[in-house]
Structure formats: C-alpha cells, structure tokens
A and B are shown apart, each in its own frame.
Chain A
Amino acid sequence: MVRLSLIPFLALGAILVAAAGGLPPVGDPESPPATHVSPRYIMFGHEETGAANLVTGVLADYRSYDTLGETTVICVAGLACWLILGSRSRGDKER
C-alpha cells in the first residue's frame, strides 16, 4: 500500500516541479502581481496611509475589509474551540 501511494505522490511532485518552471523569478518587476495595482500602492501608499511599512498599510487600510473578515474568522474559530474542547470544565451536563 505504501508502494502504491508513491505513484500519485511522485506524479504530483513531477507536476509541481514542471509547473514551478512557469513561475516568474523572485522580484521580477514584469510579473503579473507586480504590474496591476502594486505600482499605485508603492507610489502613493506612504502619503495616503501614513505607513512606512507598506504591508501594514495595505492590510490595515486599503484592504481593511479583508482584515475585518480575518479577525472575525479568528474570533469565531477560537469560540468554537473553546465550546467544543472546554465543555467539561464549564460543568455542562449534556454534551
């Protein structure tokens, strides 16, 4: 069974290695992620958000809806963990 599972594993690895050749080099200014909206962030990000760290500027200002959803997800996930794992210590009768 372990031998058998090697076949899809190696096939997946070959696909990933072949696909990695199509990735742009690290730091390529011509790559798709660096050409659409990034130049605007880099040019106006500091004066618009007041943040020298562009990552924080994007996360907390331009994309703050995203961060709001992320925070809500973290909050709900923690609540779910607490409710599921800690039901005994709270003395809940039925679980």
Chain B
Amino acid sequence: MTLSLEPLAVVFLTLMIACAVAVLSVRDLLAAVVVFGTFSFFSATYFAVLGAVDVALTEAAVGGAITAVFFVTAIFRTDRGAD
C-alpha cells in the first residue's frame, strides 16, 4: 500500500472528483459541458504535474476545446434540459 500522496496530486484529483460529481448533478446540459471542460483542464494539469506533457497537451486540446464544441453543437441539435 504505497499510495504516493503529494499535495499537488491530492489537490488536482480532489478537484477532478468534484468536477465529475458536478457534471452528473447539474441539470442544465450546457453548464454540464462547461464543467466537463474544467474537468479536462484539471486532468491536463495533473498530467503535466506527473511529467506526461504530451498527454497533457492532447487532453487540453481534445478534452478542453474539441469535445466541448462538439457537445455544444450536439446540444443545440436537441433539447437543452437533462430530463
């Protein structure tokens, strides 16, 4: 049981879990997309902290920009509420 608990890792992982719970609990899909974007940026920063800068760049570009845009476009095709 050797979980490495560096402070930065704890901070970013906690923020990621908070963002994930918020994505699920928000009723407005557009707000959920925005929170999902922040989740992506936290995970990108966490990858950068771990030293995987290539993965961080990919996560920031794909998760933060492209996925959000595609989700917003898909939401505009359908209804905005989650129910």
In the complex they form, whether A and B have CB atoms below 8 Å apart is answered with yes
Interface size on B, residues (CB 8 A): 7
Whether the pair B54, A25 counts as a contact (CB closer than 8 A) is no
Instruction: Tell me if A's interface is mostly helix, strand, loop or mixed.
Output: loop
Interface: A55 (CB within 8 A): yes
Interface size on A, residues (CB 8 A): 9
Whether the pair A20, B54 counts as a contact (CB closer than 8 A) is no
**Which residues of A lie under 8 Å from residue B2 when comparing CB positions?**
21, 24-25
Interface: A53 (CB within 8 A): yes
Whether the pair A25, B1 counts as a contact (CB closer than 8 A) is no
**B1-36 contact mask (Cβ, 8 Å, vs A): 1 or 0:** 111100000000000000000000000000000000
Kindly report which residue of chain A lies nearest to residue B6, judged by CB atoms: A26
